[in-house]
Structure 1
Amino acid sequence: MHQHEDALRDDTSRAVLLDTFGGPEVLALRDVPRPRAGDGQIRVRVSAAGLNPMDWFMTADAETAARFGLSLPCGFGTDYAGAVDQVGPGVSGYAVGDRVFGAALSRAVADHVVIDADGDIASGIAHHTPDGVDDRTAATLAIAGSTASAALDVLGLGPGDTVLVGGAGGGVGVFAVQLARIAGARVIGTGSPSSAEYLRSLGAEPVAYGEGLADRVRDLGLGTVTAALDLHGTETVHVARELGVPDDRICTIAGQVDGVPAANGADSAPDALENIARLVAAGRLRVPLEATYPVEDIRVAVETQAARHVRGKVVIDLAP
């Protein structure tokens, strides 16, 4: 009997699945057949999965899900970190036991994910995790890090710049603020009044969002704002225009404004995530964690993340 139960465990795995699109209430942790790595693939034993707004946004309804190529039954979550536990034929550059992190579109919150060794975000992306970066931190890097990197590439920041970052305390903002500072720019970050000290800890000069933002930015006395990044909607775009920032030095990731460039993680440079991971390993970039949850508490974790008041990242633990 015990041997039979052990054999069943060897053939099964846990994954968070949706049988219908909707909010956190439709998420369920299920036992599923353990996937196997095929030709050109690796299987990763996931130890941590980071949450992003896109996770619940793209599974909220069938129409949105279809735009991302998702159908039911559907997995959940995209960022992951763990270790390779199976290598398929034809794969080079990975071995069993290698620590990796990356993205697997809407299927990362699972004990195992199968990744194409030379894939994209849909089929899966894997990068080697540097020594000195723990799995919880590595599990936060892929979506937010690549999005921030792509947006900053649009702006081309340097030591002479002062950049206004709207939504600076969120998951992407954590990376955008620090990467802008590493590039030599001065950063003004918008947030709630209660987030001021947190934004300062990231390297930004805090300013409260909302009506009168342009005047509050001027009152800081930091000189001319030369660039702007809107990580939440469009408020920062309109304020930046009011401050005289040209459209080609404004970037959005969530809202769209005619004449203003937008960026997403797919636009990032091929080496963007490796560079970010190296900065983390070197202690030059840190990723604050708002909270960690066991996978059994996935609904609570997503509710926390979806409230959009988190400072930093929310991570799901799947460690064996």
Structure 2
Amino acid sequence: MEKSKSTNTSSEKLPKYPIATGQILDGRFLIERHFNTEIFSNYYLGTYHDSDRTRWIFIKMKHNQDSNDIDMIRWEYKVYKSLETSAGMLRVPQPLYFGSILTYEAIVLELLGPSLLDMWNKCDQRLSIRALAQIGYQLICLMKYFHDRGFVYRNIRPEHFLYGVTGSEKWMWMYAIDLKWCKTYSNEQQSHIKMEQANGPLQIGTHIRYMSINAHRGVEQSRRDDLESIGYLLTYLFCRKLPWMELENIVDRNECHRRIAECKEKSLSTICQRMLHEFEQYLMTVRKLSFDEKPNYQNLGELFLNVQRSIGFESKFDLYDWNIFHRPKN
């Protein structure tokens, strides 16, 4: 008897463009085109009609053959919905739909504008201290937004922080995307989780370049770690290099993280020497926080506001070096 073909698709290579454009999701969302297809095969741009206008949307899909991917995309949507229903201004793209299409599960989100990485590149990877201080202030506010709602973000990368669509009312504000690595830091009794330590470095979304020292050493993440990672990100955006970048290619994962953690511990004054004192003070402060300590976001933000005041900050439309590209036209 001829053997039947295996139905296990785990080893089958998925098509580069799994969903054809022109299909309609949930009877509302038209899939218009593939997004960044040289890197991603499961991200799409689409449109839908909202009242009397057409809105652009972002669609993220995961194949249901990978249970880990499916668990993460379901958790990500749950985080989006939790943030959407919380009080205050929404600092993530608005979640519009979660469901299935063929053998994929999809999140549909409001489409936002360029990322922090996009704008940094548009400025030839050179930022003024004033722009850097404004970025720092907004990132602190953004992390406070997550922390106040019970989440540690754990996914610090410049491509994960987006601005509103150019010319829209959201163009000046920073938003966070890719929430699958978010984790709650309090239990059902609203008490802080206990500090645990893994045998090796943590598996989180934050790039190794920006990971906190504790993350390299396997210590459970809390609010302090998001803030420490922001400090390294700001330093990289200004200096365009960090002392430990040459260590990122060490093949042995544990050795790589060990060496980078040691370098970060010893390099604080070195990496901040081209920057104003407030940036070094910021990193010193967040590094000293205990595991369950609530950061003083106001004092941390004030460090960057002081930088702006010291160099004559004036116009609210002159916050960033790239506003010539991004600000609304009169």
Q: Please say whether Structure 1 and Structure 2 have the same fold, judged by a TM-score greater than 0.5.
A: no
Report which structure shows greater RCO (CA 8 Å, sep ≥6). 1
Q: What is the TM-score when the length of structure 1 is the normalising length?
A: 0.28
Structure with the bigger percentage of strand = 1
Q: What is the TM-score when the length of structure 2 is the normalising length?
A: 0.28
Bigger radius of gyration among the two: 2
